[in-house]
Amino acid sequence: MRLRLGPTTAYLVTDPALVRDLLTADAAHFTKGLHYRALAALLGDSLSTTDGHRHRERRRLLQPAFHHSHLTRYGDLIRESALELIDGWRPGTVIPVDDAMRDLSLTVATRTLCSAAPSAEAIAVIRRDLPTVMRGVAWRVLVSAPWLERLPIPSNRRFVAANRRLRRVVADLVAHYRSADTDHGDLLSLLLAARHPDTGAGLTDNEIRDEMVNLLFAGTETTGNALAWLWHAVAADPGVEQRLHDESLSGADDYARRVARETLRMYPPPWLVSRQARTEVALGGHRLPADAHVLFSPYALHRHPDHFPAPDTFDPDRWLPGRRGDVSRTAFLAFGAGAQNCIGEGLAMLELATVTTTVAACVRLIPTSPAAPKLSATLAPDRLPMRVTPW
């Protein structure tokens, strides 16, 4: 389907098989699209904004840091962070769950990235400036008009100043770790120790800074929004809520993981993804010109009845091994696909499951008003007030 986005012509792909080709077999013919130019203002030269040979080489360096053997150590840290949050909730009070989950995800992100506690000033800068930067990035992703970004208006000035402070604080953390030369068992230590398997070369401080900002963004924005949507979905189904509570008391997390995956199906953080053709290329029998912008929507694919029966029904058990016929593995794109799938999928699922079981064991969250999505760089709820209710 051909679309006009202001002065830009784009092609919308709605067939999951073609989307898979776009991300796998035909990936070499495409670069990351117009949305990623806006993300580069925040994420710099990171895994999320590079492609081709540079992306492959960077991923080879980073992959060991996300091995399962490293991720398991973070479970207790995530659980402790969630319990600290719950301890501040009082029965009967109404809390903004969307803000609470983003704050929790930011806490988890900073603790898993750099467990040698940053200074209070550094944490304050990250908490204050990261939301400002993310709002600026969201606006740039949606508008995709570089000339607007250069206007000397207050929102642009706030974005530039906050982005500069944020990147400086992260750069200082990297420099501090580098000079201390101590393995703290966290992701920053692993990034500093990473070496290319062929050349033995490591990452520069600037490259590590960009990857750290990338992980802060993903760990806060995408995971925080997914957790907020999860509580919205769970509250709407008493049966799901009860099963989740019962499992949480047992210490298991199988059902919690299915609840998390079903949340990501119904509310995928990347609701719209772009690619750009390097040269003239064929996709699904259609010739696309060089530099053509190609879009696809994980949200639309995840809600299509041809790919997921009863797509508007929140059904965690559709992810049971015995019900594989109810799930289109090809159409599920919450973490992407191919060589550019999300490197942090394992950590994200660990955090989603651990926070879910920790909160569900202690309290119920009851919505006080309907929730609706808001247009942003990721799929986020437009305010989600919920009442804390003990079991």
Contacts 24+ apart (CB under 8 A), 279-288: 279/29, 281/26, 281/29, 281/30, 283/11, 283/13, 283/18, 283/21, 283/22, 283/26, 284/13, 284/15, 284/18, 284/21, 286/11, 288/11
This prediction's pTM? 0.92
Is residue 72 pLDDT above 70, yes or no? yes
Q: Are 232 and 371 in contact (CB under 8 A)?
A: yes
Query: Mind listing the pLDDT tens digit for each residue in 234-265?
Result: 999 999 999 999 999 999 999 999 999 999 99
Element (H, E) at 161: helix 154-180
Q: What is the mean pLDDT of the chain?
A: 88
User: Percentage of residues in the chain with pLDDT exceeding 70?
Assistant: 94
> 């799938």: which residue's tokens?
341
Query: Mind listing the pLDDT tens digit for each residue in 104-129?
Result: 999 999 999 888 767 778 888 888 88
Backbone angles phi, psi at 312, to 5 degrees: -90, 5
Which one, of 204, 312, 330, 296, lies nearest residue 13 by Cα?
A: 296
Query: Mind listing the pLDDT tens digit for each residue in 131-179?
Result: 888 788 777 766 666 667 677 778 788 888 998 999 999 999 999 999 9
DSSP string, 52-115: HHHHHHHHHHHGGGGSHHHHGGGHHHHHHHHHHHHHT--TT-EEEHHHHHHHHHHHHHHHHH--
Query: Mind listing the pLDDT tens digit for each residue in 16-54?
Result: 889 988 888 888 899 887 667 667 766 778 888 888 888
pLDDT attached to residue 66: 87
Is residue 388 pLDDT above 90, yes or no? yes
Question: What is the Cα–Cα distance from 239 to 302, expressed in whole angstroms?
Answer: 23
pLDDT attached to residue 77: 93
Q: Where are the domains of the chain?
A: 33-270+334-389
One-letter amino acid at 134 equals M
Dihedral sign for Cα atoms in the order 123, 127, 132, 137: positive
Backbone angles phi, psi at 295, to 5 degrees: -120, 150
Domain 33-270+334-389 architecture: Orthogonal Bundle (1.10)
